[in-house]
Amino acid sequence: SAILPYLIFFMLAFFYENRYGTSLNSTAYILGIPIGLAFVYVFSITDEFLRKYTDSRLINPGYNPLEELDDLNKQLSRTIDLNEITSITTSKVAKTIRPAYQAIFVIPEEIDKPWLSYTYKDSSLLKPDPFKIVINIWARLKNTPLIIDEFNSLQIDKHEPVAIMLQELESIMQKEQLKVIYPLLQNEKIVGMLILGEKEADSPYSIQEVEFLESIGNTLALAVGRSLLYEELQLFNEELQNRVEAATEELKVKNTSLENALSELEDKRRQERDMVDVMGHELRTPISIARNALAILEDKFDKNDGNIEKEKLGKYLTMAVEATRREITLLETLLSATKLEGNRIQLNLTKVSVDELIENTLEAHKYKAQEKNLTLNVEKEDGMFIFSDKVRTQEIIDNFVSNAVKYTAAGSVTIKVYKKDGFIRFDIVDTGIGIQQEDLEKLGGKFFRARKLYGEGTTEDYVHPSGTGLGLFVTFELIHLMGGNREVLSEVGKGSTFAAELPEFTGQKDQNLDQTFMETGNNNVGATSSET
């Protein structure tokens, strides 16, 4: 690089000699050396500055994605307020991706409720209504992120209805100068969307940025789902408290001899408040485990120049995935309990394969059973079918098996399936600690958790109850709503049997049941049927 400025110097000298008829003396030629070196020094500094600026703006993102995602996880795990969640997320996107505009839509569980709209700082709010067509587009494109620059490359027949929707969406995005729309998915359900505008200098979104934004979307979806659930629980708790207070006043007016009943109601109020605290703890624990696992991976990534042993990578990723699965399961249980309590559950009764249900259950619980050296056995005939809601039936069997594995220290868990008087009976038999008789009568009560039990001859070998106390409440209610029966048999120290009987499929028409219109003891009220 030193040759270039020196050659320039001599070219100027040659030009000067031909132009003016004189040549520069030897001193001038010698001075060209330091002048050239000085030029090189200034040129190098300028070149380095321009290179770093170009890399940071156009090539490299200028941030560590793992560090930023871990920081986002930490911040979101400390709040369940939607305003804070969206503010933290949009600030993180503004710091890393730097789009000119960004917005977040949150879709409530109830269809009749309006969408919630959030933007970064003082940006203008987008109206959600024009973007509701995105839900139909995602139904066709399997929840693929919508990037306006890639619309023309989508393999869609122009005669399809979704093609017209895409044209309409493209027009909206061009008008608002938007580039990307990401789905916020929780258990394959859309709970919202993240909308981003143009980047600085209208540069395209890189593959690394798209992957980074997908990770942000997954984290945001989990936080939004947790917030919506907590809000629903708060409303449920307020409604319950109002009911209790109204009942309390009525008891006081009618008869002072009912003070015992009043005291019992007050105890229930305290129990509800305590369980809200338990729920808060249960909701935070899985996300904290996932956060810690990712933090360990990040630390190892930094200390080993990006190299992580495959075994350790698999271990901590498994921890993070398992914690996330536990969080989702907990959220689903809480949501089901809330819907059952508010008479808002919906069931789709159809022909369901018993073989498929059992296969899914074994796959879901085999690793936990292996960790405890338990044997999972199945005793059944092939080719049996029941008439029930497939998703809810899977939930029932999984809950029974999960409890059996949890409360069995050694031995086996056996799933027996057989026909009985027009029903298909599922017996989940374990060799666990058993349940005391006084607790058997209370099983299935909301928030009830059986007392801890000790193993034979020791006070060390015991299983302490954990969770929210909602699993069996939801399970027993679902069995009842689907026209089934349930039975629990147990002997302390020998094990328990949890049984569910559901109607056998004998050619019934499909039915959609809405609990809103169902009366106790009559599962046909509010039902609509269709041909199979």
- Domain residue spans in the chain? 3-59, 65-223, 227-341, 346-530
pLDDT, one tens digit per residue, over 165-216 is 999 999 999 998 899 999 998 888 899 999 999 887 677 888 888 889 889 9
Least confident segment among 60-74, 101-115, 125-139? 60-74
Res 27 pLDDT > 60: no
Q: How far apart are CA 502 and CA 37, in angstroms?
A: 89
Q: How far apart are CA 362 and CA 121, in angstroms?
A: 49
pLDDT, one tens digit per residue, over 329-388 is 667 666 666 666 666 678 889 999 999 999 999 988 888 899 899 999 999 999 999 999
Residues 65-223, CATH architecture = 2-Layer Sandwich (3.30)
HSE-CB at 417 with a 13 A cutoff on CA atoms is 22
Q: What CATH class does 346-530 carry?
A: alpha beta
For residue 462, what pLDDT is reported?
A: 46
pLDDT, one tens digit per residue, over 70-124 is 999 999 999 989 899 999 999 999 998 889 899 999 988 878 888 988 888 777 7
CA dihedral sign of residues 58, 64, 66, 67: negative
Among the listed residues 346, 297, 272, the one whose alpha carbon sits nearest the alpha carbon of residue 64: 297
pTM, 2 dp: 0.42
The separation between the first and the last C-alpha atoms of the chain, rounded to the nearest angstrom, is 80
Contact status, residue 361 vs residue 378, Cβ threshold 8 Å:
no
Among the listed residues 318, 328, 315, 316, the one whose alpha carbon sits nearest the alpha carbon of residue 287: 328
Q: How far apart are CA 452 and CA 435, in angstroms?
A: 9
Type of residue numbered 80? I
State both tokens at 496. Answer: 């328990």
